[in-house]
Amino acid sequence: MCTSLLYRDARDRPYLGRTLELSVDLPYQLAVLPKGLDLSSTAKGHPSLRWRTERAVIAITMPAAPPAPGTTPGVGDLKIIEGLNDAGLSFSVQSYSQAAGPQSPVEASRAVLSAADLGAWVLGQFSTVAAVKAALADMPICLEPVPILGGLEMPFHYSVHDSHGASLVIEFHKGVRSIYDNPVGVMTNAPQFSWHLTNLDNYTFLNNIDRSRANFGRYTAVQPGAGIAKAGLPGTDTSVDRFVRAAFYAQFAEKQSDPDKAVQMVAHIMNNFDRPRGITVDPPELGSDHLEVQGQQMDAVPTEFTSWTSISDLTRGLFYVRDSRGMNYIRLDIGALATNSFNATPMAKLMANPADVTSALTTS
């Protein structure tokens, strides 16, 4: 469903790459939340939690409920799926089907944060993973049904990264919240994050050194080309295999010195997690479950595909995104956004088309 990884350049500056996979096209909105915006979150049976944004935010968003025909979703309707604030803090939502379950009771008189608003709460107020972790220690969070997902209780888990390269995972497993420091900076989907780290212990043999020659008796075997070092990498698109591959690419991809080249490197890395339509299909009698979104038609035989890919330069405050219709990224500079009001635009309207340079090669 989703793959995210943190790449560090030659000067240890962090860059986040992330893909999102679903079996339906959704009307994503690119939104800007300015400083000084008053926000709130309401969980059923509790008073509203209120805060004012101290950080400007760029985010990919979706409404929690199907919007009424002819209406435009407002700041309270749109929920952050992927975002970056002006302090270099990022927030990612990734599918986790095992999230729902009995939750710890909270006094009815206490304000509670709905998990649907976790992204706005994190990005709007904090600058570092350490600050987020400290604030979460005393913040009750409620998993509530998501109307646009047919009433599922927030089937997600969450990643936070900062400009210092620190990473955090917020995970609800069968209703029980866990907060993990993330030493590898990688996240996919189920099973639990702690299980992924244990599974990574089975891959200590991985490295990027090609062993292209070996002796068998009196015969010297020689590889006809480079690339044998990847032979031990798991090859499927399951979350388990993607986690291992993401850790490998983040570890061994060449460390660039120039930030623009580092962004290009992350783009190349994320190409390895790009999934075209039809590469895997899930017949109803054989396949797995998929998120069903109200108002969006799923194919009779679902096929997951990469809906969009984003790259966050956590040091320079640059956010890049492309969707499934092309390979070109658009760039947004959060430091150059001069706005005092909330703004949201359909992501599809902003996507870049390949430049036509025919005229530059035409001779008269």
Banded pLDDT at 147 (limits 50, 70, 90): confident
| DSSP letter string, 123-176 | HHH-SSHHHHHHHHTT--EE--EEGGGTTEE--EEEEEE-TTS-EEEEEEETTE
The backbone region for 263, taken as left when phi is positive above 0, alpha when psi lies in -120 to 50, beta otherwise, is alpha
pLDDT band per the 50, 70, 90 thresholds, residue 49:
very high
Over the stretch 269-292, which tens digit does the pLDDT of each residue have?
999 999 999 999 988 777 777 776
Cα 271 to Cα 224, 249, 268, 281, 290, distances in angstroms: 25, 11, 5, 20, 23
Q: What confidence score (pLDDT) does residue 309 get?
A: 98
- Lowest-confidence segment of 113-127, 314-328, 346-360 by average pLDDT: 346-360
Q: Looking at the domain that runs over 2-192+254-361, which CATH code has it been given?
A: 3.60.60.10
Helices and strands in the chain: count of H runs, count of E runs: 6, 21
Averaged pLDDT for residues 228-241: 96
Higher pLDDT, 151 or 55: 55
pLDDT of residue 364: 60
Kindly state the average pLDDT of the residues 231-253.
Answer: 97
- pLDDT for 166-188, tens place per residue? 999 999 999 999 999 999 999 99
Domain ranges of the chain: 2-192+254-361
Question: What number is the average pLDDT over the span 203-229?
Answer: 96
Helix (H) or strand (E) holding 7: strand 2-8
Residues 28-46, mean pLDDT to the nearest whole number: 95
Q: What pLDDT score was predicted for residue 133?
A: 98
Distance in angstroms (rounded) separating the CA atoms of residues 304 and 344: 26
354's tokens: 């390949």
Task: Give the ranges where 221-353 is alpha helix by DSSP (H).
Answer: 239-252, 259-271, 347-350
Residues 82 and 92 sit within 8 Å (Cβ to Cβ) = yes
Dump pLDDT digits (tens) for 58-102: 999 998 887 777 777 889 899 999 999 999 999 999 999 999 998
SS3 247: helix
Is residue 31 scored above 90 in pLDDT? yes
d(CA 363, CA 53): 55
**Residue-level length of the chain:** 364
Distance CA 222, CA 323 (A): 41
The per-residue pLDDT for 158 is 98
Which of 26, 17, 35 has the alpha carbon at shortest distance from 334?
Answer: 35
Model confidence pLDDT, tens digit, residues 286-309: 777 777 676 666 777 889 999 999
Say yes or no to pLDDT of 120 above 70. yes
Strand intervals (E) in 23-130: 29-33, 38-41, 49-52, 57-63, 78-85, 90-95, 113-114
**Other CB atoms within 10 Å distance of the CB of residue 40:** 14
Which two three-digit tokens encode residue 180?
């993990």
Does the pLDDT value for residue 56 go beyond 90? yes
Residue 205 DSSP one-character state: T
Q: What is the pLDDT of residue 283?
A: 86
Say yes or no to pLDDT of 142 above 90: yes
**How far is residue 279's CA from residue 302's CA, in Å, rounded to a whole number?**
11
Look over the chain and give the mean of its residue pLDDT values, rounded to a whole number. 93
pTM: predicted TM-score of the whole model, two decimal places? 0.95
